[in-house]
Structure 1
Amino acid sequence: MREALIVWGGWSGHEPQECAHIVRDMLEEDGFKVYLENSTEAFADPSIHDLSLIVPIVTMSKIEKEEVKNLAAAIESGVGIAGYHGGAGDSFRESVEYQFIIGGQWVAHPGNIIDYTVNITKSDDPIMEGITDFPYTSEQYYMHVDPSNEVLATTTFTGDHAYWIDGVVMPVAWKRKYGKGRVFYSSLGHQAKEFNVPQMKTIFRRGANWAAR
């Protein structure tokens, strides 16, 4: 049986505990044995090297050097990692090693909660199979991203809230490798209710299963 670890915490506005339970239920439905922890100390446990998947749901906060070092080593050896929105893309702002794993870092969401469009750029990828461009209402994440990411979906900024980024095409979902480990990230999912959007939930669910070894 595949085993997954969800570590939740950080800024409460992203409803990390509620989202951790949603992700747990989803993974259990897909045959995982799931462990929940609410401290980054879990990343320092040597046993994470035996997992199939790690899901961080920790916005901002801090991570100790020994924690991120062990996390990076586990993923490099083949453990998968899957995350979404600020729970993975705005975690541990001082840790460039963590950002190197995820492949991006949030820097802004102009206009806060707005209507925008998610454009599917790799419709032939199994993660995106059957999903077409769709409207979305949430924070439209502007991120600094790794050019080695394999981008699966994007969004285009209008400039209504920051005129100097008008027309910028920004990755929304991607997959990548970190050593032998698979990494999946989606910027969708500001709060728990967004898991009710079928496309958002399906993209993350498939991405997590792809990432898991």
Structure 2
Amino acid sequence: MTPKRALVVRGGWEGHQPVEATDLFLPFLRSNGYTVRVEESTGVYADAAEMAGTDLVVQCVTMSQITREELAGLSAAVVAGTGFTGWHGGIADSFRASSDYLHLVGGQFATHPGKEPCERRGGAEDNFLPHTIALTEAGREHPVTAGIEDFELHTEQYWVLHDDLIDVLATTTHPTRPWEPWHRPVSSPAVWTRRWGSGRIVVTTPGHSVDVLENPNVRTIIERGMLWATRTASVS
């Protein structure tokens, strides 16, 4: 059997620990039969031959920029069947200036609401809130999330702008708060899949830091998402 090929692309804003975060999943990939190539920039996306032979791209690049050629290479690979997955800002807050990238993934980080202003001290913890990741009916049946019950996190809670071509497996709800401007609770997708050409995309929004990625539910979803997104002989 030909080994599956995974490409891990990492970089961007260091606050999301792209090296430590992706290193956490390398043993899983290798133990599941993948040969793994790790790249510290998106330049590899413009290598058509490399991308054509890649079965799965795991991206952890927050913010940053992508060239037209790199994005065209990534998009063409996904359309042709290469899987694409990642977590938190490494996939949902990448390349803000590229509308075509946003179109590819189907959802974009907008904000992460914070604590009451008088409780903020200027650190990342200002945006750590207790919240629930709630499975949808589709999520309770999907291979990526089946068997996982609703669970609680205390970390950044992503508010995501999205389209309706995504299949939402889990949501999280932002409540109204006296210091915030919205007037009713707002639900955002927390885990979703997307079919794009022959490719499969999985986005998991929890994952601000390694300790969140080590949460058993979060880690299980990400690892299952890698397996599910990987190129298959036939898409079902």
Q: Which residue of structure 2 aligns with residue 115 of structure 1?
A: 130
Q: Work out whether residues 57 and 87 of structure 1, in 8 Å CA contact, stay in contact via their aligned partners in 2.
A: yes
* CA distance in 1: counterparts of 2:47 and 2:70, whole angstroms: 8
* CA distance in 2: counterparts of 1:202 and 1:136, whole angstroms: 15
Distance 1:39 1:165, change over 3 A: farther
Q: TM-score, normalised by structure 1?
A: 0.97
Question: Of residues 167, 179, 187 in structure 1, which corresponds to 2:185?
Answer: 167
**Displaced runs of 4+ in structure 1, greater than 4 A?**
none
Matched AA of 1:211: A
Q: Work out whether residues 5 and 55 of structure 1, in 8 Å CA contact, stay in contact via their aligned partners in 2.
A: yes
Give how far 1:165 is off. Answer: 5.5
| Residues 119-148 of structure 1 deviation map (CA, whole Å, 9 limit, x = unaligned) | 011211121121000001111000111211
Q: Which runs of 5+ in 1 are unaligned?
A: none
Q: Which residue of structure 2 aligns with residue 135 of structure 1?
A: 152
Q: Which residue of structure 1 aligns with residue 34 of structure 2?
A: 32
Question: Of residues 128, 151, 167 in structure 2, which corresponds to 1:150?
Answer: 167
Matched AA of 1:201: R
Question: Of residues 6, 17, 23 in structure 2, which corresponds to 1:21?
Answer: 23
Q: Which residue of structure 2 aligns with residue 124 of structure 1?
A: 141
Give how far 1:166 is off. Answer: 3.4
* CA distance in 1: counterparts of 2:27 and 2:183, whole angstroms: 38
RMSD: 1.1
Q: Which residue of structure 1 aligns with residue 123 of structure 2?
A: none
* CA distance in 2: counterparts of 1:165 and 1:9, whole angstroms: 37
Matched AA of 1:110: P
Matched AA of 2:145: M
Q: Which runs of 5+ in 2 are unaligned?
A: 115-126, 232-236
| Residues 172-192 of structure 1 deviation map (CA, whole Å, 9 limit, x = unaligned) | 001111111101001010011
How many residue pairs get matched?
Answer: 213
Q: TM-score, normalised by structure 2?
A: 0.88
| Residues 40-62 of structure 1 deviation map (CA, whole Å, 9 limit, x = unaligned) | 11111111111110011000000
Give how far 1:163 is off. Answer: 4.4
Matched AA of 1:108: T
* CA distance in 2: counterparts of 1:165 and 1:191, whole angstroms: 30
Q: Work out whether residues 157 and 165 of structure 1, in 8 Å CA contact, stay in contact via their aligned partners in 2.
A: no
Are 2:68 and 1:84 equivalent residues in the alignment? no
Q: Work out whether residues 173 and 186 of structure 1, in 8 Å CA contact, stay in contact via their aligned partners in 2.
A: yes
Q: Which residue of structure 2 aligns with residue 58 of structure 1?
A: 61
